[in-house]
Structure 1
Amino acid sequence: MIMCREATKLMSLKLDRPLTRREQLQLRLHTLMCSACRRCESQFELLHGLGDKLPDTDDTSSRS
């Protein structure tokens, strides 16, 4: 069984790449038992979704 720290690491990885079957199973088993990590995963997904909706900006154009 993985700990919360490893679970949050997997949640973050899941936003960048598909998890392996083993990683998916580890994360699923952990979140079934850990309400804090379920909330954390929901928040990661919400923030990631909001970030996708932001317009692209060029940081160099706003500098003087």
Structure 2
Amino acid sequence: MLNCKQVTRLASARLDRRLTLRERLSFRLHLMMCAACRRFDAQLQFMHGAMSRFGRGERPDREDR
């Protein structure tokens, strides 16, 4: 079973590479039980998407402000 520190590392790593099957299963199992890691993952995904859009020069929608 992964601990929260390991899950945060995997959450970051999956932005750069595809996780192995074992990593994905362990990651998802932990997220089912840990609300803090679910929030961290959601925030990380949001920031990654926002920075990708910023890097492409896209402007935020009115609703995003």
Alignment TM-score, normalising by the size of structure 1: 0.83
| Larger of the two Rg values belongs to structure | 1
* Superposed CA RMSD: 1.0
The sequence identity of aligned pairs, in percent, is 45
Q: How far off is 1:54 after superposition?
A: 1.1
Greater share of residues in helix: 1
Structure 1 outlier segments of 4+, above 6 Å? none
Which residue of 2 is the match for residue 49 of structure 1?
49
Q: Which secondary structure state, in structure 2, belongs to the residue aligned with residue 15 of structure 1?
A: coil
Q: Which runs of 5+ in 1 are unaligned?
A: 57-64
> Which residue of structure 2 lines up, in the alignment, with residue 31 of structure 1?
31
